[in-house]
A and B are shown apart, each in its own frame.
Chain A
């Protein structure tokens, strides 16, 4: 994601003596490009930097009639209230445990699946399997939640039938807090594991076939070739995705959790992002909820930077 070239390389224009003059000339010549970028610039300025300006209400007692500037400062009051609240540790634990669970289960599966797809030579079967496993990615969150609820329904659900058919007692998936995280993580794997293989397959298509040929001549087995040729090829991709994943550790799939939450599984499903939504938009505690959200973003940013630094020290595959 870096620009390797500075902005001052152009070979289309004759060189002018003074650098400044040349620069202005180039700006003037390309004025239309500024028109091109204007909508996007305004959009990011208003809808992304605007809310960043609004973050200050986390340190104020925001009163809508007084506006952001007119509201009184309260310093870190909202933060201390949040850290001292009885639910703080539960929220943090739920958020982190769901993310880590998701990372541990969900991250390796697409990698293994991509390596397996890559070994398959039967074109028709490969295409078929890919098309089918990619498809759930396009199912909306609401439909996905609807499917989970329907399939896990204690009286009529498919999964319930399968479990009783196998001779076990089906648990109350939807209302038992013990099962919430598993239900969330595995439905996520079902939905996105196939799609997640694409990026690895793209990397695998770059493997030099002569390497495999040489390995075959040297008597390497298929498994050895996967292990020593294919896996090292995708390591950079794996690293980058891992960094990005860890950087969004606290931003756990808020929309799906919100849909699957109910009073009975709350003790396991209450995470920071849904808490921000409930306290901010449902209970209108604007300042408090902004403070919680800010805490969340800051931790995420710190995590991302830390992980990136660690990776940077140990290999060359860092984000920046």
Chain B
């Protein structure tokens, strides 16, 4: 920006409002996160009464202890890691070669494939036909129901294709072709080594998707031992609370007992939320660059 130009008073006011607005957004997002961290290690009595509002009060690790004693959370964690790793590998194996083929101008039928894939962006069969198909294919109650039906996303194919088109010099590919390099060799030896950024972006997008998804697991898995973390969380965070919501008038003793139980349950909830989200939030600042890159590549009209 040009410096040395004197800021007028109006500009200063505008800037101050601007900073204030961004600061407000920052606080609105940041505060609940800090609150949860503090609440997860505070005495539920203070959290429940509202005395703990920023820094932990009456530090206790009871919440975390209960979370770590809960076997379902650990199996859920294990399952989620398994599904995420395998699912992401499948995603990459389907997405990258297809995107590369679509990036080649001399690929006959490119428009046909692209059109066929794009239609699915705006129109689909809907929930029930998809469910019946997966049932028909015998994938119900197996982890493949969570992996194969989401093997690729058209959005990510477009992003990768845009990357291959814009970031890998055409001359390089042409020179390799003239030297008699086959497409397979070219892809493995030349294209992929030059594509680390997009591989990272794709792995992250798909990986977070698998890590966070619950709905497929909810409709396709019957076996509690196969539940991913998100489903276990749903039982702890959502279903229990709903059960505790009912109830009209009751006597004082029951009310206070319930209240106490609710407080302990709430404490455990804060700990569960932290434990479940920590891996993603911990790695995210280091990978933010890649995520942003992915959105930017996607925003360029392909």
CA distance A209 to B2 in the complex (A): 9
Q: Once the chains are docked, how many angstroms separate the CA of A41 from the CA of B178?
A: 29
Question: What's the least CB distance linking A36 to chain B, in Å?
Answer: 4
**Which residue of B has the minimal Cβ distance to A320?**
B118
Rank and list the top 10 A-B pairs by shortest CB-CB distance, nearest first.
Answer: A51-B125, A146-B237, A54-B129, A293-B126, A40-B98, A140-B212, A161-B50, A36-B97, A51-B129, A32-B183
What separation, in Å, do the CA atoms of A9 and B30 have in the docked complex?
Answer: 53
Other A-B contacts than A41-B116, A140-B230, A150-B273, 17 sampled, CB-CB below 8 A, are A30-B104, A30-B107, A34-B109, A36-B101, A44-B117, A55-B125, A135-B284, A139-B280, A142-B230, A146-B269, A149-B237, A156-B44, A199-B299, A221-B11, A259-B238, A277-B127, A297-B126
Tell me whether B245 and A52 are in contact (CB under 8 A).
Answer: no
Residue on A with the closest CB to B9? Answer: A221
> Quick check: is B211 within 8 A (CB to CB) of the other chain?
yes
A133–B299 contact, CB under 8 A?
no
Q: A213 at interface (Cβ–Cβ under 8 A)?
A: yes
With an 8 A cutoff between CB atoms, is A266 at the interface?
no
Tell whether, in the assembled complex, residue B128 and residue A117 are in contact, meaning their CB atoms are under 8 Å apart: no
The stretch of B59-67, B193-201, B258-266 that contacts the partner chain: B258-266
CB distance from A219 to the nearest CB of B (A): 9
Task: Give the tally of cross-chain contacts (CB within 8 A).
Answer: 314
B131 in contact with A281 (CB, 8 Å): yes
Name the distance in Å between B25's Cβ and chain A's nearest Cβ: 6
A26 contact from B32, B108, B117, Cβ within 8 A? B108
| From B25, B110, B263, contact of A7 by CB (8 A) | B110
Interfacial chain B residues near A164, Cβ < 8 Å = 50
Contact of B23 among A23, A129, A223 (CB under 8 A): A129
Task: Assess the A255–B183 pair: CB atoms within 8 A.
Answer: no
Q: Are B214 and A255 in contact (CB under 8 A)?
A: yes
How far, in whole Å, are A290 and B129 apart by their CA atoms in the complex? 7
27 contacts across the A-B interface (CB closer than 8 A): A1-B118, A30-B108, A30-B183, A40-B151, A41-B116, A44-B117, A47-B151, A51-B126, A51-B129, A53-B129, A121-B1, A125-B22, A129-B23, A135-B33, A142-B230, A142-B237, A142-B238, A153-B262, A156-B48, A156-B262, A194-B25, A199-B295, A202-B299, A221-B14, A276-B126, A276-B127, A294-B126
A7: which B residues are within 8 A, CB to CB?
105-111
In A32-69, the 8 Å CB interface with B consists of 32-37, 39-41, 43-44, 46-55, 57
* Set B15, B95, B152, B236: member contacting A222, Cβ < 8 A: B15
Dominant SS among interface residues on chain B: helix
Q: Is the CB of A141 within 8 A of B214?
A: yes
Compute how far the CA of A3 lies from the CA of B112 in the bound complex, rounded to whole angstroms: 11
Q: Residue A39 contacts which of B94, B124, B126, B187 (CB distance < 8 angstroms)?
A: B94
A106 at the interface (CB under 8 A from B): no
Asked whether A156 and B266 contact (CB < 8 A) given A36-B101, A194-B29, A294-B126, the answer is yes
Chain A residue numbers with a CB within 8 Å of B245 are 174-175, 262, 264
The digit string for B7-35, where 1 denotes a CB below 8 A from any CB of A, is: 01011001100110111011011101101
The reply on B41 being an interface residue by CB < 8 A is no
Closest CB of chain B to A260's CB: distance in Å? 8
Give every chain A residue within 8 A of B184 (Cβ-Cβ): 32, 35
Size of the chain B interface, CB-CB below 8 angstroms = 114
Q: Does A85 contact B (CB under 8 A)?
A: no
> Do residues B158 and A132 form an inter-chain contact, with CB atoms below 8 A?
no
Q: Are A290 and B280 in contact (CB under 8 A)?
A: no
B50 touches A165 (CB 8 A): yes
Chain A residues within 8 Å of B172, by CB: none
Docked pose: A46 CA to B33 CA in angstroms: 42
B2 touches A216 (CB 8 A): yes
Query: B48 touching A133 by the CB < 8 A rule?
Result: no
CB contact between B100 and one of A36, A129, A158 (< 8 Å): that residue: A36
A113→B25 contact, CB < 8 A: yes
How far apart are the CA atoms of A258 and B216 in the complex, in Å?
13
- By beta carbon, the residue of chain A nearest B150 is A47
Q: Could you tell me which residues of chain A, from 10 to 44, have a CB within 8 Å of some CB in chain B?
A: 10-13, 23, 26-27, 30, 32-37, 39-41, 43-44
**Given known A47-B133, A143-B277, A198-B292, contact A9–B105 (CB-CB < 8 A):** yes
* A44 in contact with B120 (CB, 8 Å): yes
B47 adjacent to A202 (CB under 8 Å) = no
Q: A40-B117, A129-B26 are in contact. Are A135 and B148 (CB under 8 A)?
A: no
Complex contacts, B174 vs chain A, CB 8 Å? 11-12
Q: Does B168 interact with chain A (Cβ within 8 Å)? A: no
Q: How far is the CA of A35 from the CA of B183 in the complex (A)?
A: 10
Q: Given A40-B157, A50-B125, A216-B5, A237 and B299 touching (CB < 8 A)? A: yes
Q: Which chain A residues border B26 with CB–CB below 8 Å?
A: 128-129, 132-133
A242 at the interface (CB under 8 A from B): no
